[in-house]
Amino acid sequence: STQSTWARRRGRYHRRQAPQRADTDRASGVPRPLLAFRRHAALTAVPKQPGRHYRGVMESMHAVAITGPLPVSDPECFVDVDLPIPEPGPHDLLVEVQAVSVNPIDIKLRKEAGTLSHPRVLGFDAASVVRAAGSEVNGFSVGDEVWHSGNRDRPGTYSQFTLVDSRIVSKRPPSLSIADAASLPLTALTSWEALIDHIRLGTPEERSNKAFLMIGGAGGVGSAAIQLARAITSGPVVATSSRPESAQWCQDMGATGIINHREPLAPQVNDFGITGFDGILSAYTPHVLCVDT
């Protein structure tokens, strides 16, 4: 498949085609909704030597931005722009972005738009390499491979370089590929906060035997929540789905039971011998993050 990108040439935006990176889980054959940026030849100018401060010769970077509240079908909904490379503050890391993921929050923020004079760069999650560090940063060095989620008050990760507060960054586990690491931060954080901080289903140190229901288990948050729930409770972890492929995916994630959310839920739950749930999470219910029962 291909994704449409836009190149700025001679003062106009022209359409070109670039291959879309869609990593696929080998076991299930389910494509992961990841977007990995092309690596530009200009990146060879980024210094590779050890050091804490960026002293490269590059002054600008490529980014994918929005310049107005245009529908996604509009040819100029997303455009390639050149922006200044940002300077890290005391606690910041300047990172070179290797891969990003697309989240629903990006769709919502796109409606707030940018302008031609102030393009808005979207993107939260990324797997990156540290290229410079602020004066108050500890625990990171130039060249470290990291993964992180961003902040809506800052330019996002759909760019060659971005700034991220070092206090919300972790080093990328070597067991995760670049694409896998970029797909996890926001969905994993959402699941952790919902299950542990709000529902209080259990903790990795103190597992419970509570029952948990995930509405829409095959989505990004659902996939992470099922796995986390299995780690913090020995009770039933039930997920909903409506298609055979998504049901198999939920089962692969570790769900102990699958029910169809297009059919009445109560009879299906009763068939499992479950009388109720201690926590229910729906990533798709407007204005509701989680429900205690």
Mean pLDDT across the chain? 80
Direct distance between the N- and C-terminal alpha carbons of the chain, in angstroms, rounded to an integer: 44
Instruction: Give the model's pLDDT for residue 287.
Output: 54
Average pLDDT over residues 201-221: 95
- Amino acid, res. 210: K
Confidence of residue 208 (pLDDT cuts 50, 70, 90): very high
pTM above 0.85, yes or no: no
Residue 187 half-sphere exposure toward CB, CA atoms < 13 A: 28
The pLDDT tens digits for 82-121 are 999 999 999 999 999 999 998 888 888 887 777 877 889 9
Instruction: Give the model's pLDDT for residue 49.
Output: 35
Average pLDDT over residues 4-27: 33
The pLDDT tens digits for 124-157 are 999 999 999 999 999 999 999 999 998 888 999 9
Instruction: Give the model's pLDDT for residue 72.
Output: 82
**Which residues are within 8 A (CB) of 110 and not within 5 positions of it... i.e. 6 or more apart?**
66, 122
Instruction: Give the model's pLDDT for residue 5.
Output: 31
The pLDDT tens digits for 268-292 are 999 999 999 999 999 775 654 444 4
Whether pLDDT at 194 is above 50? yes
